[in-house]
């Protein structure tokens, strides 16, 4: 049941090849106040169950190379830039 509630309001994606960058993954994990990103040796992992905790702070967008992290507001179809 909880799986159905994921991604009701927010979706987050990281473009390749940035998603495979372990250093970027660690940085995203560090800056996100609600633990949406998990750094792994192979890169960025999105923690699906935390997506709707996003506070739209833009810290992940600012920490990543321009245009590689996408935070989409599913409720209105817009994306943070």
Structural domains in the chain plus CATH codes: 2-79 (3.30.70.20)
pLDDT over threshold 90, residue 66: yes
Separation between Cα atoms, residue 17 and residue 57, nearest integer Å: 24
8 A C-beta contact, residue 71 and residue 55: no
The mean pLDDT of 9-36, rounded to a whole number, is: 97
- CB-based contacts of 57: which residues, under 8 Å, 6+ apart? 33
- What percentage of the chain reaches a pLDDT higher than 90? 89
pLDDT of residue 6: 64
Q: Which helix (H) or strand (E) holds 3?
A: helix 2-5
Rounded to the nearest integer, the mean pLDDT of the chain is 92
pLDDT over threshold 90, residue 25: yes
């Amino acid at each position: 049941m909880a799986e159905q509630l994921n991604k009701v309001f927010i979706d987050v994606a990281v473009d390749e090849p940035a998603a495979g960058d372990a250093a970027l993954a660690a940085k995203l994990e560090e800056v996100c106040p609600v633990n949406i990103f998990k750094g792994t040796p192979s890169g960025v992992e999105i923690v699906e169950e935390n997506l709707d905790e996003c506070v739209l702070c833009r810290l992940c967008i600012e920490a990543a190379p321009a245009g590689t992290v996408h935070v989409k507001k599913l409720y209105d179809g817009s994306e943070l830039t």
